[in-house]
Structure 1
Amino acid sequence: MLELAEQLVKRDPRLTVTFCLMKMPFQQTSHDFKPSASASIQFVDHEPTTIDPDIPRSDPFSYFIDGHAPQIKDIASNNTASSRRLAGFVLDMFCSSFIDVANELGAPSYVFYTCGATFLAFMLHVQSLFDRGEFDPAELKDSDAELAVPDILSLIPGKLLPSAVVQPDGLPNLMRQTRRMREARGILVNTFHDFESHAISSLATGQTPPLYTVGPIIDLKLKKGDRTAGEKEVVDWLDRQPDSSVVFLCFGSMVSFGEEQVKEIANALEVSGQRFLWSLRKPPQKGKAEFFPSEYDDVKEALPDGFLDRTAGLGKVIGWASQTRILAHPSVGGIVSHCGWNSTLESTWFGVPVATWPMRAEQQLNAVTLVRELEVAVEIRMSYRLLSGEVVPAEEIERGIRFLMSTENKGRRKKAKEMSDKCRKAVEDGGSSYRSIGRFIEDVIN
């Protein structure tokens, strides 16, 4: 969102942006990024709210979000007390309930959808089925029964449906959020036309709010002086590897594996003989108020005995990684990814082919798009669901890595490079996303 805001104020000096920042109950601070240097962007922290323990298990998150509505209204009202005019609200995709606040203040609402257009089209279709009583996740989950979605070229078997829609507890809230998005004046999507042209065209029928493709919006500030000591060590190691020789394993900021799965990944890498860089994170401790993976004090404790010694000449195991910095390096020839949307766009930007191993949320559908629709990726296991507890064996992981990095994959590798070129052209002056951002600014100003 900050990247988007900086583009908006740079493109039109009449615009200012105020961020309303919520602090989740398990966070010490509301944000952990460097605030923008632009005087046209400001940040307002919300007062903390609490979640009633008696709220049903499927409702706390939405209840927590909705509880900020009075503060949102006060912030918006106070910010227009001067000569400035409230031009509109840009709402996170989970905050569509704040359309009510915007309506009270007589301002238009836009949703910033930080997943892809394919998932948006899919969700709008599922919401229609759900409202008619024609969508039963329990019946489809993990089955071979195929779901026809008008906005997607492939039939999707139940076992490849996004985890987000096959979890009955959370589905009603997800449907409510999707239903409310139909009331927005427009939807900004972090994608570009050539990447999801079919889904984007399907959303331009006038039955949904106007779509603004504004992506890829990713953090590309790769300044050499910003490197930490750990990042410098990683880059120095990559500098010593041949071009396109290293496979990078990275599963995002929220995914970690148990001991058994870590062992299978390690065995796969060792047997493959492939150069690798592996971002390995420590799972949250059970019984503690931890929600995200952390760093190992000593990564040896998570790995098979002797693994680091046996692979010392080929690979490197690290903790948190600056993914864009690594993907930008010429020695990286492929990534094993959870297919989160940010990671999908980042690998596309740098033209790095992907071995798909989706975990949760909408990631299964992202993997289907990459492997089947665009043919820029290969599969490890697209039907994987992190919460199922299943373990992908070393043989399956090794096979995916070998194919990803082999000459057999040259066709998909070539397509990944071609898509990278289209990706970069989309955000250049005159490109599809550049023009789309311009249309959005024009609508806001008008």
Structure 2
Amino acid sequence: MKKAEVVFIPSPDVGHLVSTLEFAKLLINRDNRLRITILVIKLPHASETDVYTKSLPISDSLNIINLPECSLPSTSNITSSMTSLLEAQKPNVKQAVANLTTERGENGVLAAFVVDMFCTTMIDVAKEFSVPTLVFYTSGVAFLGLVLHLHTLRERDNVDSDQLLHLPELDIPSFANSVPSKLLPSIVLRKDLESFFMSYANGLKNADGIIVNSFEELECYAVQSFLSHSGLCCLPIYPVGPILNHEHKTEGKTDSVDVIKWLDDQPLSSVVFLCFGSRGSFDEDQVKEIALSIENSGASFVWSLRKPPSKGTMASPSDYPLSDLDSVLPEGFLDRTREIGMVIGWAPQAQILAHRAIGGFVSHCGWNSTLESIYFGVPIATWPLHADQQSNAFELTCELKIGVEIVLDYRVEDNSGPNYFVTADKIERGIRSVLDRDGEFRKKVKEMSDKSRKALLEGGSSYNYLGHLIDYIMNQVSN
């Protein structure tokens, strides 16, 4: 029988790339009638991408093509850079897909494109090949509903960013509670990002369906809204998660071995883990305040502390040289806490969260991190930084009641500092709450952890949605 060829176009961002690769593996392991080709777009000088793509088991069912690199315009505006990069890659995508269809000949039929949520401009290319496009959405269902609803408000009712800021809260179909406007993503609150937001949301609405890295039991209210709300029900969604990468790549990271060894000696659920994602960092004053809160709490800890990039650059945070740590942290902090904690750089997050000694997670609430924390049954203390993280924090604390609030409305913009300073007493309260063994949310997160595992098993909700998705793709071949 002819194989159904599916072309994947992930975003160059490593967080998006990793979950897209995991999803590709999930698909081909489920059905051998599928053949997937992943077209990798690299950012200039980004070597991290290779670490993940080179580890994939290349087979007849899974193929990787690195597209030619394109140079980016010299601007610190990440959104316009990404837009230019994707436009520049369109001819390369078209050529790669044309080559693919010629090579496969009678053995395969191009069935669909699966594009990252930020690569919907590639729908144009899919149309040239007369195949449907599915979007792979790496945030949750509630946030997807929020984006689509805000796009409708802008287009239908002409509600702009100024008006949104003046509303105390909004009713969003995918949230059970009204969402405070100060927790909306920057892309809808900033005038300069308005055109980016409109084309991003419009791209989602142009898709033939949206694959979401979430599961029905976690976001049952939001999933239901896509079946019942008139503004959302025209767009099919497939919540097939949690799609996680359990094997964080640790080449050359001796820290990660030491951390796991240290955790092996700690009591069950006694350690708090502080980690703020691949783009999370703080200035020295805030770092000292976090250190003070950890010390005052008396809690055992693992803290992934990253050095901020130079101002005005698009670089990611890096690890501090050991010699710099003493000057960044309060005097004597490392000596005083040597017995009860570890300050590290980059962290093998999934490995740490999976460890039985971890009792709580102070997190930026990125969606991948949120899913990992739930999967491993670790309650979150929320400290969002940007993108979807404020509304994720709201969902965890107010909708799902499986998280503890440190802050909800903290945000860091690309070209300026944070909107306020978080004091040690607030952070300490969050650390104590998240480690509270009798906390109601601890029981709830353990229950949700069980549900997240069952969703992926045969007969589970995500397993069934994946089946519906495969049926849709195979129908393209038989028609």
Tell me the TM-score normalised to structure 1 length.
Answer: 0.94
Counterparts of 1:112 and 1:226, CA distance in 2: 28
Task: Look up the SS of the partner of 1:426 in the other structure.
Answer: helix
Counterparts of 1:317 and 1:60, CA distance in 2: 34
Name the residue aligned to 2:9.
Answer: none
Of 389, 411, 421, which aligns to 1:391?
421
Task: Look up the SS of the partner of 2:39 in the other structure.
Answer: strand
Q: Check the 8 A contact 1:163/1:361 in 2, yes or no.
A: yes
User: Structure 1: which amino acid aligns with 2:214?
Assistant: T
Q: How many percent of aligned residue pairs carry the same amino acid?
A: 44
Name the residue aligned to 1:411.
Answer: 440
Name the residue aligned to 2:430.
Answer: 400
Counterparts of 2:424 and 2:371, CA distance in 1: 27
Structure 1 residues 176, 415: CA separation in 2 closer, same or farther (over 3 Å shift)? Answer: same
Whether 1:35 aligns to 2:59 is no
Counterparts of 2:298 and 2:188, CA distance in 1: 38
User: Structure 2: which amino acid aligns with 1:435?
Assistant: N
Counterparts of 2:428 and 2:373, CA distance in 1: 20
Q: What is the RMSD of the two structures over their aligned residues, measured on CA atoms?
A: 2.2
Name the residue aligned to 1:277.
Answer: 302
Q: Structure 1: 5+ residue runs without aligned partners?
A: none
Q: Check the 8 A contact 2:433/2:439 in 1, yes or no.
A: no
Whether 1:260 aligns to 2:285 is yes
Counterparts of 1:169 and 1:32, CA distance in 2: 35
**Larger deviation, residues 348-357 vs 229-238:** 229-238
Name the residue aligned to 1:317.
Answer: 343
Of 39, 44, 51, which aligns to 1:25?
44
Count of aligned pairs between the two proteins: 442
Counterparts of 1:46 and 1:265, CA distance in 2: 42
Counterparts of 1:58 and 1:426, CA distance in 2: 35
Whether 1:88 aligns to 2:112 is yes
User: Structure 1: which amino acid aligns with 2:29?
Assistant: K
Shift of 1:169: 1.6
Of 179, 197, 204, which aligns to 1:174?
197
Task: Look up the SS of the partner of 1:68 in the other structure.
Answer: helix
Counterparts of 1:254 and 1:403, CA distance in 2: 26
Name the residue aligned to 2:390.
Answer: 364
Question: Could you give the per-residue CA deviations for residues 216-259 of structure 1, whole angstroms, max 9, x where no partner exists?
Answer: 00012489x99953222101111111111000001001111110
Counterparts of 2:27 and 2:452, CA distance in 1: 19
Task: Look up the SS of the partner of 2:111 in the other structure.
Answer: coil
Counterparts of 2:129 and 2:121, CA distance in 1: 14
Task: Look up the SS of the partner of 2:71 in the other structure.
Answer: coil
Name the residue aligned to 2:16.
Answer: none
Question: Could you give the per-residue CA deviations for residues 346-383 of structure 1, whole angstroms, max 9, x where no partner exists?
Answer: 00001100000111001011011100111001100101
Shift of 1:162: 2.4
Name the residue aligned to 2:265.
Answer: 240
Structure 1 residues 16, 301: CA separation in 2 closer, same or farther (over 3 Å shift)? Answer: farther
Whether 1:427 aligns to 2:456 is yes
Q: Check the 8 A contact 1:22/1:30 in 2, yes or no.
A: no
Q: Check the 8 A contact 2:183/2:409 in 1, yes or no.
A: yes
Structure 1 residues 56, 295: CA separation in 2 closer, same or farther (over 3 Å shift)? Answer: closer
Structure 1 residues 302, 290: CA separation in 2 closer, same or farther (over 3 Å shift)? Answer: farther
Structure 1 residues 217, 57: CA separation in 2 closer, same or farther (over 3 Å shift)? Answer: closer
Task: Look up the SS of the partner of 1:132 in the other structure.
Answer: helix
Of 366, 378, 387, which aligns to 1:352?
378
Q: Check the 8 A contact 2:58/2:64 in 1, yes or no.
A: no
Shift of 1:436: 0.8
Whether 1:114 aligns to 2:138 is yes
Shift of 1:214: 1.0
Q: Structure 2: 5+ residue runs without aligned partners?
A: 1-19
Task: Look up the SS of the partner of 1:386 in the other structure.
Answer: coil
Shift of 1:104: 0.8
Name the residue aligned to 1:64.
Answer: 85
Shift of 1:56: 8.8
Counterparts of 1:367 and 1:272, CA distance in 2: 22
Shift of 1:391: 1.5
Shift of 1:434: 0.8
Shift of 1:209: 2.2
Structure 1 residues 10, 58: CA separation in 2 closer, same or farther (over 3 Å shift)? Answer: closer
Counterparts of 1:216 and 1:279, CA distance in 2: 24
Counterparts of 2:379 and 2:345, CA distance in 1: 22
Shift of 1:55: 12
Question: Could you give the per-residue CA deviations for residues 4-26 of structure 1, whole angstroms, max 9, x where no partner exists?
Answer: 11111111112111111112135
Shift of 1:32: 2.9
Counterparts of 2:307 and 2:78, CA distance in 1: 26
Task: Look up the SS of the partner of 2:153 in the other structure.
Answer: helix
Shift of 1:28: 4.8
Q: Check the 8 A contact 2:75/2:81 in 1, yes or no.
A: no
Name the residue aligned to 2:352.
Answer: 326
Q: Check the 8 A contact 2:111/2:132 in 1, yes or no.
A: yes
Q: What are the residue-to-residue correspondences of 1:163-312 with 2, within 5 Å?
A: 163-205=186-228, 207-221=233-247, 229-286=254-311, 291-298=315-322, 299-312=325-338
Task: Look up the SS of the partner of 1:184 in the other structure.
Answer: coil
Counterparts of 1:240 and 1:163, CA distance in 2: 42
Structure 1 residues 57, 405: CA separation in 2 closer, same or farther (over 3 Å shift)? Answer: closer
**Larger deviation, residues 197-206 vs 106-115:** 197-206
The answer to which structure has the higher helix fraction is: 2
Question: Could you give the per-residue CA deviations for residues 9-53 of structure 1, whole angstroms, max 9, x where no partner exists?
Answer: 111112111111112135257533133114021111111223456
Shift of 1:290: 5.6
